[in-house]
Amino acid sequence: MSKRINNSNASMKCEYGIYSRGCKSRGIKLCGALAAAGMMASWTSKGLPNYQREKYAVVTLVDCRSLLDPVLPSNHAGFYHSAILNTHDVAEETLWELAKRSYTSFVNAMNCNKHFSDMSDLNYLMCKAIENPGLTPSSSLRTALISVFEDPIFVDSGEMDGEIGLEDFVGCASAHGVGPSLALFDTIRNGKLDCACIYPWPLHSIEQIEGLVDHMKRILVEGCSSENQQTEP
């Protein structure tokens, strides 16, 4: 069963412009920063020595509509996402160092066409994991720490939303069966970063995931604060 964090303490609602500047100055996308924050929060939660590394897997979902022949419009109905799986050894490092490393690995995989060439292999491995849960850590059916989308969805609420009484909405899939421990569905809504956080329950408790997400937010805010200090005249 999948659950969504939807209370004010655990949702990620922050000014997107802050993250955008930090990412653009390094030639990376927001997905790199989100993945890095997730890995750093998980590593820190274990209380490991600074030198001890932990290996984490990140799944980045790629919208392939624009890559098909013929090209499909972005609003074409259906699921056209492919996935790229990368692993990273994480120890004590800064948000932007890890974000750059994570995003560079993703881009290298894209340049090697792995979002298409590895599709059948990933599907095969997922099926094998479902058939043999013991192949995954603690038989948990978790194949990655976190999944992120290459690009966020941009939504600007109009006057009509207020007229019909629409205050909030979220669009996401579930995380049944085999998948990550935390799936991030990021939206830039009215200029703010708004993430829905999906996790498998009861494998993970809401307290555990809330703690992880709150730590991710602190890492992002601190990383962006240091970025602002560097750019101030």
182 strand-pairing partners: 146
113 has pLDDT over 90: no
Higher pLDDT, 8 or 194: 194
Rounded to a whole number, what is the distance in angstroms from the first to the last CA of the chain?
50
- Which CATH number fits the domain that encloses residue 215? 3.30.559.30
7 has pLDDT over 50: no
Among residues 138, 121, 50, which one has the least CA distance to residue 90?
50
Q: What does DSSP assign to residue 168?
A: -
- The count of structural domains within the chain is 1
Domain limits for position 72: 2-231
Q: What is the pLDDT of residue 171?
A: 63
The pTM (predicted TM-score) of the whole model is: 0.84
Q: What is the pLDDT of residue 31?
A: 94
Cα separation, 163 vs 209, in Å, equals: 35
Q: Are the C-beta atoms of residues 171 and 185 closer than 8 Å to each other?
A: yes
